[in-house]
Amino acid sequence: MKRFILKASLLLLPFALYALGIVVIDPFERFGVGRFMPVHDKSKVAIAINNPLWKVIEFNRAPHPNITLGASKMYLLTPDLLKEASAVDYHNLSLGGGSATEFIHLFWFAASRAKLERVVFGIGIENFNEYIDRDSVKGAEATASNPLLYVINRDVAAAAKHLVLMKYFGAAPPSTVPPMSKDEFWKVQLGEATTRMFAKYRFNEGAYGKLAEIAAYCRERGIELTFVILPSHADVHERLRQLGVEEEWKSLPLRLGQLGKTHDFDVDDELTASRDNFTDPFHFGPDAARRLAGAIWSDRAGRPR
């Protein structure tokens, strides 16, 4: 029996050492005990590798009554910028490349952990394509809630490896910024990316119905609910027309307006006409972000189409 225990211990030793290393490095701050690297550096790696897992663990650690939800556009409206515009602290739960389904699940996750007071959805026509619908939030919740799943998760291992390389070998954090000029990336986004998003498109009625349930939940509990349709450049608008999605694009603010207060900024106007206001066709720059935040909290909605 002693020999069996010894052999089993030797077999388990590598895993035990690996698990200890994950706990010490703790790339997603699941345990909150390791000080291998500053949280700010961990966030750079974790968000690039598994943004939903970082956001779920971060909110678990510090639930907040005021949240913003959305994709990478909403991420540009930072908590500091929103505090400047609204005098309210917001926690940003946005996910780069996220779908409406993921935003919905993040809302219910947040509602299960905090007594919500204000919720802002930054959502656009690109988030409602049923053909590219996905949900990475459920897996993130499961991993965050189970220490064993966290320790054996491949994204956690990859993030830990990156942090070790950064700390001891001077490696740069993983980046989602493409290695090309703004003009080159602009063409790629209007070509391959836009075609992938809209060439095959069906509006996700199921997700819209679930947003209606959220709207009812917020009305019953006095939660301030706001929808914001953030702008893309006019070049994207032209591609929407070419790809036959104009009707869905134009009807979205009307449909969201049936659920709650809605600001529509994805319109053909002087902001969306100028490339100077955008870093790429889908993402506005910091000056435009400040302008949009001010417009939202001064009660000025975007122009009608």
Q: Which residue has the tokens 């409602």?
A: 128
Confidence (pLDDT) at 7: 53
Looking at every residue in the chain, the average pLDDT score rounds to 91
Amino acid letter, residue 244: G
Superfamily of domain 2-297 in CATH is SGNH hydrolase (3.40.50.1110)
3-state SS, residue 96: coil
120's enclosing H/E stretch is strand 118-122
Confidence (pLDDT) at 112: 97
Residues of the chain with pLDDT under 50: 4, 300-305
Tokens representing residue 289 in the block: 């972000």
Contact 96, 78 (CB under 8 A): no
Confidence (pLDDT) at 304: 42
Tokens representing residue 178 in the block: 């493409």
Q: How far apart are CA 38 and CA 34, in angstroms?
A: 10
What's the maximum distance between 2 C-alpha atoms anywhere in the chain?
A: 79
pTM for the predicted model, two decimal places: 0.91
Confidence (pLDDT) at 305: 44
Q: How far apart are CA 51 and CA 56, in angstroms?
A: 9
Confidence (pLDDT) at 26: 94
66's enclosing H/E stretch is strand 66-70
3-state SS, residue 68: strand
Confidence (pLDDT) at 5: 55
Domains of the chain, by residue range, sit at: 2-297
3-state SS, residue 149: helix
